[in-house]
Structure 1
Amino acid sequence: MSLEIHYTPKAKKSLQFLHAFITEKFGKRPADKFIREAEKTILLLKEQPYLFKKSELGEHIRLGLISRYTSFLYEVTNTRIILHFFWDNRQEPFYD
């Protein structure tokens, strides 16, 4: 099973915000490492969409983990994986 990955506008914005947050707090190398780890995790989801546990936000919403510091919400449909939101577990969630 290989599903298409779709980023919502909020997912794109929160991912950019998170990269900037990590860059500011910890430097460019950790921020770039975060992006590489996020990409690897998302590629893994294409093959194993139910890898992470269900969230309490909805039947099809799941809580993914990139590292112990970073998480994301995603949804699995019949044809694709929709990435909704990324955040750093050390900060208050970013809302638009």
Structure 2
Amino acid sequence: MILKVTLTHTATETYEYIFNQIVLKFGVAAAKKFERKTLQTLKALSKTPYIFKSIEGNSDVRKGYINKNCSFFYQVSVFEVSILFFWDNRQEPLL
């Protein structure tokens, strides 16, 4: 069964921030490559939502990877996969 993938408001904001940082540092071509990889990953996630491991301390939230520099956190429900936020792995961890 293919699940619908939705992005929270925070996920949209964090994705746009990371995308814009890539444009500024590496150019539009690199940002478009990141965008394609993100869409490819989310499409695969809709087909196999449990492909990534749950995070320690909260089995409802899972951490997925776009590339070595970008992760995302998500939850799976009966009908959809909800992307909570994107994370630039080079930034300081949340406390």
Asked if these proteins are the same fold (TM beyond 0.5), I'd say yes
The equivalent residue for 2:12 is 12
The equivalent residue for 2:66 is 66
| TM-score (ref. length: structure 2) | 0.91
In the alignment, structure 1 residue 78 sits paired with structure 2 residue 71 = no
Residue deviations 1:51-96 (CA, integer Å, cap 9, x gap)? 1011125221000001111110010011110001112212346xxx
What amino acid is the match of 1:48? T
The equivalent residue for 1:87 is 87
Tell whether the 8 Å contact from 1:75 to 1:82 is kept in structure 2 after alignment.
yes
What amino acid is the match of 1:3? L
- Structure 1 segments, 4+ long, off by >4 Å, are none
Tell whether the 8 Å contact from 1:60 to 1:77 is kept in structure 2 after alignment.
no
CA distance in 2, matches of 1:33, 1:92: 24
CA distance in 1, matches of 2:52, 2:3: 15
> 1:51 is paired with a residue of what secondary structure?
coil
Percent of counterpart pairs with the same letter? 38
| TM-score (ref. length: structure 1) | 0.90
In the alignment, structure 1 residue 50 sits paired with structure 2 residue 50 = yes
C-alpha RMSD over aligned residues: 1.6
- Per the TM alignment, residue 24 of structure 1 is displaced from its structure 2 partner at its CA by 1.0
CA distance in 1, matches of 2:31, 2:57: 28
| Structure 2: unaligned runs, 5 residues or longer | none
